[in-house]
Chain A
Amino acid sequence: METFFQLLLSGIAQGCVYGLVAIGFVLIYKATEMVNFAQGDIMMLGAFITITLINHLHWNYFLAVVIAIGVMGLFGLALERLLLRRMIGESPFAVLMVTIGIGFVMRSVAGMIWGHNPRSIVTPYTDQSFQFGAVVLPIADVVVIVATVVLCSLTFLFFRYTRFGIAMQATSQNQLAANYVGISVKRVVAASWALAAAIATIAGILLLPLKSAYPEVGLILGIKAFAAAIVGGFGSLPGAMIGGLVIGLAEVFTKFWVDAEVGFSVSETSVYILLLIMLIVRPSGLFASLQKKKV
């Protein structure tokens, strides 16, 4: 029973990270109909910047976190401005190749700068845990979950109540009409990239105490987050979050229950099996958004 709770917590924490990266996929997709396959690598870069600020420049943890999020938000803006904006009107396949290419470049540059050894940071809460009777709950997991809940609430409030948030929704529902009422679609797209990159960075920072960072960490995690977005319907932010939780829990529980039984790692593949089942059984995702895009 204790193990179950620990697994549950760790699955949810893992799922939160997938969900946050998945939200980035969906944000960019809703604004531009592009799928950004460098989303996981943006998370990786954000994590490495945080590591550098804390381990090498000895900044305060919270200051480092805030600055890393800001820098990566600007990085998202720059990617859009310098590369993706030029791809408007190109075929989805070409756009896909560009984002895959961006991911490759980011991984190799990260390898050159930070090397290939896994790195991590010491956070104010590293190695601390709650204890409820026999159940030991690592604070790192709890922090991930609490931070994710806060972040999702803020995102919800932003989209529901702020003028620019509503304008972003409007743009994804009908770009032409958004143009006609005077919303600058360029700005909405830029904001989506900045937001997606900032949220991916937060995911990376939250992941650091759980897993260490290395240049390829974003590739693998990005694929899982992509699966999460698909499970969630690829058009819905809450769907992406729930998709993340489904994937995180499936992974953690198969690792514990199945891997030990069969003697090899099924858990790594469980994500892909889940994704395949999803694509066959409910291709539009668990929370298929009712929305039909206007061209």
Chain B
Amino acid sequence: MAEPLLKVQNIETYYGLIAGIRGVSLEVQDGSIVAMLGANGAGKTTVLKTICGAMNPEKGSVRFRGQDITGRDPDRITRLGIAHVPEGREVFPFLTTEDNLKMGAFTRNRSAVKTELDRIFEHFPELKEHRKLAAGYLSGGQQQMLAIGRALMLRPKLMLLDEPSLGLSPILVHAISEILTTINQVEGVTVLLVEQNAQMALEIAHFGYILDNGRVVMEDSSTRLTQTTDVQEFYLGKKASGARAKRRWKQRKTWR
């Protein structure tokens, strides 16, 4: 079988002496949407930061399109076509909406910028309305759209998204999941989606990983994950028998 678009092998990444992740492996097939789920502090953000080069792993490797990219500077990894929509949006607050978007195409040919801008404004008409407004004045939802739009300006091969639905209304969450599906199906962008909103993520993803305490504790197609009792209890809120559920989860972890 051909090598997956992204192949992460056994990465361990530390914050000083504190382990953010303790050996995570995952694969993202070209053209797919892969969800990475897990509670707060599970290590999801750290995995993304290690993939995009913002953090260097102590051990393990990251391969993209068959190339070893472990430990490269983030700007060089971006140039390979990996765009990152970071946790908490991270727009440039004093630049206009338009300049924020243009920065998304910083590594690209100047002539591409105009067409890409039009394309993004088609996806997000609200951003077009506010194109001259400093991004700091946009609402939370608009900033999230801007962060996604900025990443799309790269015409990425792979898009990493870190909890894009966090703090947004159900309507906006729905809008985001639609956009992700569209760019995946129409533009062929491969997506690695980190979420705490498992419902939304598993709905649009083909495959999913579940992280806990810095390790992958479950991986399967999203259809099967959705049917798994543990996932239903912990992430989809199907049942609420707290104590018993916790025990089951612990059991599961011990025999892994």
Interface residues of A (CB under 8 A from B): 163, 166-167, 169-170, 173-174, 176-186, 291, 294
In the bound complex, residues from chain A placing their C-beta under 8 Å from that of B84 are 180
Q: Is the CB of A166 within 8 A of B95?
A: yes
Take A179-B54, A180-B86 as given contacts and tell me if A169 and B106 are in contact as well, using a CB distance cutoff of 8 Å. no
Q: Chain B, 29-70, contact with A by CB distance < 8 Å: what is the 0/1 string?
A: 000000000000000000000001110000000000000000
Tell me the complex Cα distance, A85–B95, Å. Answer: 27
Tell me the complex Cα distance, A177–B93, Å. Answer: 11
Tell me the complex Cα distance, A163–B105, Å. Answer: 10
- The distance from the CB of B68 to the nearest CB of chain A, in whole angstroms, is 19
How many pairs of A and B residues are in contact by the CB < 8 Å rule? 71
Segment with Cβ contacts to A, from B96-104, B122-130, B188-196: B96-104
Q: Is the CB of A170 within 8 A of B86?
A: no
What are 6 A-B pairs with beta-carbon distances under 8 A? A167-B106, A170-B95, A170-B100, A174-B92, A182-B75, A184-B75
Tell me the complex Cα distance, A186–B76, Å. Answer: 12
Take A163-B110, A176-B86, A176-B90 as given contacts and tell me if A181 and B95 are in contact as well, using a CB distance cutoff of 8 Å. no
Pick from B53, B91, B107, B154: contact of A174, CB under 8 Å? B91
Q: Is the CB of B154 within 8 A of A181?
A: yes
Q: Is the CB of A166 within 8 A of B90?
A: no
Tell me the complex Cα distance, A169–B53, Å. Answer: 22
The 6 A-B pairs with the shortest beta carbon distances in the complex, nearest first, are A182-B78, A182-B107, A177-B90, A179-B74, A180-B84, A184-B75
Does B249 lie at the interface of the complex (its beta carbon under 8 Å from any beta carbon of A)? Answer: no
Chain B contributes a number of interface residues (CB within 8 A of A) equal to: 27
Take A163-B110, A177-B86 as given contacts and tell me if A183 and B93 are in contact as well, using a CB distance cutoff of 8 Å. no
Tell me the complex Cα distance, A181–B78, Å. Answer: 7
Does B220 lie at the interface of the complex (its beta carbon under 8 Å from any beta carbon of A)? Answer: no
- The distance from the CB of A172 to the nearest CB of chain B, in whole angstroms, is 9
Q: Is the CB of A163 within 8 A of B102?
A: yes
Take A166-B99, A185-B75 as given contacts and tell me if A177 and B107 are in contact as well, using a CB distance cutoff of 8 Å. no
Q: Chain B, 69-84, contact with A by CB distance < 8 Å: what is the 0/1 string?
A: 0000111001100011
Tell me the complex Cα distance, A291–B210, Å. Answer: 38
Q: Is the CB of B52 within 8 A of A180?
A: yes
Take A182-B154, A183-B75 as given contacts and tell me if A169 and B54 are in contact as well, using a CB distance cutoff of 8 Å. no
Tell me the complex Cα distance, A291–B91, Å. Answer: 13
Take A180-B74, A182-B107 as given contacts and tell me if A173 and B93 are in contact as well, using a CB distance cutoff of 8 Å. yes
In the bound complex, residues from chain A placing their C-beta under 8 Å from that of B53 are 179
- The distance from the CB of B188 to the nearest CB of chain A, in whole angstroms, is 20
Take A182-B78, A183-B103, A185-B75 as given contacts and tell me if A173 and B54 are in contact as well, using a CB distance cutoff of 8 Å. no
Q: Is the CB of A169 within 8 A of B92?
A: yes
Q: Which residue in chain B gives the minimum CB-CB distance to A183? A: B106
- The distance from the CB of A1 to the nearest CB of chain B, in whole angstroms, is 43
Q: Which residue in chain B gives the minimum CB-CB distance to A176? A: B90
Q: Is the CB of B103 within 8 A of A181?
A: yes
In the complex, besides A177-B90, A177-B91, A185-B75, 19 extra interface pairs with C-beta distance below 8 angstroms are A163-B106, A166-B103, A169-B92, A170-B103, A173-B92, A173-B93, A173-B95, A174-B91, A176-B86, A177-B86, A181-B78, A182-B75, A182-B79, A182-B106, A182-B107, A183-B75, A183-B103, A183-B106, A294-B90
